[in-house]
Structure 1
Amino acid sequence: MQRVVPGADFTGLDPGVSLRDTFEMDSLDFLEFVEALAELSGRELTEDDYPTLVTWDGCAARLVGEAHTSAQGRSG
């Protein structure tokens, strides 16, 4: 997030609140955030994911959910 919104203060950040609103990200900032998240996580993230990725809770659910599904596919 620091790469997209330099100087962002994460103190007391509610994980269920919109990151776009909290950090006043415009569409390009949000796209850069999603690209950075995809790069760092090694996951493919598409426009369909944008509504989920607007909060930290959503980001975690999307990334952990995909990891869980991938693990089940390998073991089942």
Structure 2
Amino acid sequence: MTEQEIRDAVLESLSGVAPELDLSEVEDDTDLRNDLDLDSMDFLNFVIAVSERLGVDVPEADYGRMDTLAKCVEYLRAAQAK
């Protein structure tokens, strides 16, 4: 998958968890939990959704590596390359 396809999958997964979000305001450095007001359950549901969509296993220990849009895309791209 290209970086743009991964980014689109991340944004679509975010939209599924928090449909009230304006995705046009989500930038690379947006903190997915704090800036978007995702609580721990929302974030967990997001990680599950994006990992299932991309076929990537995301261990709980790595959740902190997915705190911004850019880091999330980078992590998922690297995980797919394995």
TM-score for both structures, normalised by structure 1: 0.80
Kept in 1: contact 2:15–2:23 (CA 8 A): no
Shift of 1:20: 0.8
Aligned residues: CA RMSD: 1.2
Letter in 1 for 2:30: V
Q: Does 1:13 align with 2:33?
A: no
* Stretches of structure 2 lacking an aligned partner (at least 5 in a row): 1-13
Runs of 4+ in 1 over 6 A off after TM superposition: none
Letter in 2 for 1:61: E
Shift of 1:65: 1.2
Letter in 2 for 1:32: N
- CA radius of gyration, larger in: 1
Q: Does 1:26 align with 2:39?
A: yes
2: distance between equivalents of 1:53 and 1:43? 13
1: distance between equivalents of 2:33 and 2:40? 9
TM-score for both structures, normalised by structure 2: 0.75
Q: Which residue of 2 aligns with 1:40?
A: 53
1: distance between equivalents of 2:62 and 2:45? 14
Kept in 1: contact 2:30–2:68 (CA 8 A): yes
Task: Report which of the two has the higher share of helix.
Answer: 2
Percent identical among aligned pairs is 30
